[in-house]
Amino acid sequence: MRQQRILLVASPSTPPNVREQLGASIVAAWPRQGRKPNLVPVDLEHLPEALVERPIAQLALAVLGETEGRADVARLIDDLIAARTAGLILLPGDAAASARNLEAEGVLVESWDTNPAALAAALHALCQRECMIERLARELNLTRAAHGGLSGQMAQLHEELNLASSVQRELMPRQLPTVEGLDLGVLFRPAGFVSGDVYDCVRIGERRVAFLLADAVGHGVPAALLTMVISRSLRRTLDDAGPGGDVDPADAMRRLNRDLCGAGAGSFQFATAVFGVVDAETWEVTASVAGHPSPLRLRAGAVDRIPADGPLLGVFDAAEFEQSRFRLAPGETLLIYSDGFETAFPTGGDKRTLGKPTSAYLRHLGGLGSRAEATGSVGAALIELTGLLDAQSGSLHQRDDVTALAIRRTDAAAIQRRAAA
């Protein structure tokens, strides 16, 4: 510990030798004989310069004369407080009593004739306080520096995540394709900046549409990077088939699986997916499922799961995938969704179930078909579904990415009835 330093201050009106006598008597009565302070004489007019460089345990002992009034004492106290320096101001008896109510933040006022031992004890206590304050000040400065660095890193991370979000969204269609007889809509809600879900919908020729919804296992940037591999693989498959070419969903899924196995390189990054093709001329749908929740066929008052299943993507390079075929009936909606819906709706309004998988989502998804029929648009029905998600407790802290892709065969007769009405 450094030697304690006391600035021994005198004003022009301080009687000769009074400052030195009081200082010497205080040092003589110092509580710790082995650690007596070092007195540094300073004239009041030069005190600001002495306060600029503030070492550990620096105090001020100011011996003022009778001509210094309350305004002078208040100014001196302000200077000491601004320099984070505690101290003791000594005044003649009546002047000390008058100025005592100016004491503030470690600056005390006493009279010349106070017992030197009491003054020494007061200064010693202030010195210990100053040591603690100095340590706290250093720690505060270090904390501010660290916080400033952390704030900069957080701002950079925020910018990078925003950029990653923009890049990811560029991989997904800005608009869904338009095909006569089909009504398409999508709901896409990442849990954070980037999503582990990805969807795509591509027109093939005049009357067919290829669709994909995939969910990378996990969250955040690692999952989002995997979705980029999935999007690139699908686009390559469609490019190889050419405009209007045949695309076999099971073969496309096998190719996607091989790409993910190669990209994972032992990092245990898996994904689930649904890939299919819908023909708006024959209304035949061919779909392949890889470890993903089964797509739903929605009709007014009815919900059917498509009986299709397959292994996770990115696990076994030689995995085989099957596919299902069925026909969309007029007014029927095909709904592909991610498993984030399983935790989006608690059962019976019980908040304790929030975040745990439930079957409550099936009721809300099943009603989408009726809402689409009532509104005449799956887009409007998905907007209502978004409102239901917003109404859930904890929706601001969404636990998982939520994505739904709806493909509806329009009912020409129903459309004509609505137009006539």
> Who contacts 359 (Cβ-Cβ below 8 Å, separation ≥6)?
347
The pTM score is 0.63
Share above pLDDT 90 across residues of the chain, in percent, rounded to a whole number: 32
Structural contact between residues 389 and 344, judged by C-beta atoms closer than 8 angstroms: yes
Residue 418 has pLDDT above 50, yes or no: no
Give 260-306 pLDDT, tens digit per residue: 888 754 455 789 999 999 999 999 999 999 999 999 999 877 889 98
Triad 10, 13, 17: Cα angle to 5°: 55
Domains of the chain and CATH, by start: 5-141 (3.40.50.2300), 171-420 (3.60.40.10)
The full DSSP string for 123-185 is HHHHHHHHHHHHHHHHHHHHHHHHHHHHHHHHHHHHHHHHHHHHHHHHTS-SS----TTEEEE
- Quickly list H helices, 171-276: 220-241, 249-264
- 79 or 167: which leads in pLDDT: 79
| Measured distance CA(87)–CA(40) in Å, rounded | 14
User: Which tokens is 387 given?
Assistant: 């409102």
Residue 11 has pLDDT above 80, yes or no: yes
Give 373-398 pLDDT, tens digit per residue: 888 889 888 998 888 888 875 555 56
CA-to-CA separations, 112 to 14, 92, 230, in angstroms, rounded: 11, 6, 85
> Helix, strand or coil for residue 67?
coil
- To the nearest 10 degrees (0 to 180), the angle between helices 220-241 and 249-264 is 140
Which one of 50-59, 196-205, 394-403 scores highest in mean pLDDT?
A: 196-205
Reference 307, options 321, 288, 320; nearest CA is 288
> Helix, strand or coil for residue 296?
strand
Structural contact between residues 226 and 269, judged by C-beta atoms closer than 8 angstroms: yes
Burial of 238-265, coded b for 16+ CB within 10 Å and e otherwise, reads: beebeeeeebbbbbbbbbbbbbbbebbe
Mean pLDDT, rounded, for 210-239: 86
